[in-house]
Amino acid sequence: MSEPSDAAVLIERAADHVALVTINRPAARNAVNGAVASGLEAAIDRTEADPDIWAVILTGAGNQAFCAGADLKEISAGRGAGLRTERGGFAGFVHAPRTKPWIAAVNGPALAGGCEIVLTCELVVAAEGAVFGLPEVKRGLMAIAGGLYRLPRVLPRPLALEAILTGEPISAEHAHQFGMVNRLVPASQVVHEARSLAARITANAPLAVRGSLSVAKQALDLSDAELKELSLQAMVPVAASEDYKEGPRAFIEKRAPRWTGR
C-alpha cells in the first residue's frame, strides 16, 4: 500500500492495521488541487476496501502546513470544479462515506478547506503552534464544505461563531482546551502520537469499533428512540462475528484477544 513519491496523496502502512495518508504538496502548503481531491477519494476507497486496515491517519507533507485549503491558482485558472468529486465533495473527502476512524495529524496550519478536512476526521492530534481557521468571509466566501456546521459541534457555540464570523484563526492550544483537539504535542511528535492513538483503537475489535462509530457520529442528529434502533441494528453484524465470541473467551482465558475482523 504505497504510491510514487511524487504523488499528490501518499498512502502507506503506518503500523499493524493502520494506514498513513499524506497530502503531498508541501511547496503549495498542501493546498487542494484536482490531484489531491482524486487522491484522497482513492485513499478512502482503498482503506475502506482493505479488511486489514482498521484506522487511518491523515497528515500533510513538510512542516509548513497541514493543508491551506483550496488551491487558489487552480480556481483562478478556471479549474475550481476539479477540487471536488461527485461522491466526496471538496477534496474528495468532506462528504465521502466512511466506516473506519480517521485521525487528523495536524502538523501546521489547517485553514479554510484544510480546517474542514480536519473537522471531517473523527479524532485530532495537533502540533503546538498549529492553528485552525475558516477565513472564507475575509474573501467574500463561505465555508460550505462542512465548516459552518461541524465547527459548532466541536467548540462551544459562541467561540465557533466568533471564528466563523470574524474569520480569525483558533490556536491549537485553544482548540485543545475546548475539546476540538484530542492530543496536543510538539510538532515532531504529531504523527508518532497519532500512531499511538491509532494503536489504542486497533487494540479493540474492529467491527465493534465501526459499529460504535456509526452510531456515535449521528448522536447529535437523531432522537434517542432513533439512536436506540440504530444501535440495535449496528449490533446485529457484530453479534454474528467471530470476534464477538473471541472477546469473552480471551477474558476468561486471561489473555489478549486475537481479533480477526470477521
Give the active site residues: 116, 136
Which grid coordinates are listed for 125? 492530534
Q: Return all residues near 35 (Cβ < 8 A) that are at least 6 apart.
A: 7, 8, 9
CB 57 within 8 A of CB 19: yes
Cα 149 → chain centroid = 16
Q: What is the DSSP letter of 32?
A: B
Pairing of strands 18-23, 55-60: parallel
Torsion angles phi and psi, residue 74, rounded to 5: -65, -40
DSSP 158-226: HHHHHHHHH---EEHHHHHHTTS-SEEE-GGGHHHHHHHHHHHHHTS-HHHHHHHHHHHTTTTTS-HHH
Q: Return all residues near 85 (Cβ < 8 A) that are at least 6 apart.
A: 37, 38, 41, 92, 96
Give the three-state DSSP class for 92. coil
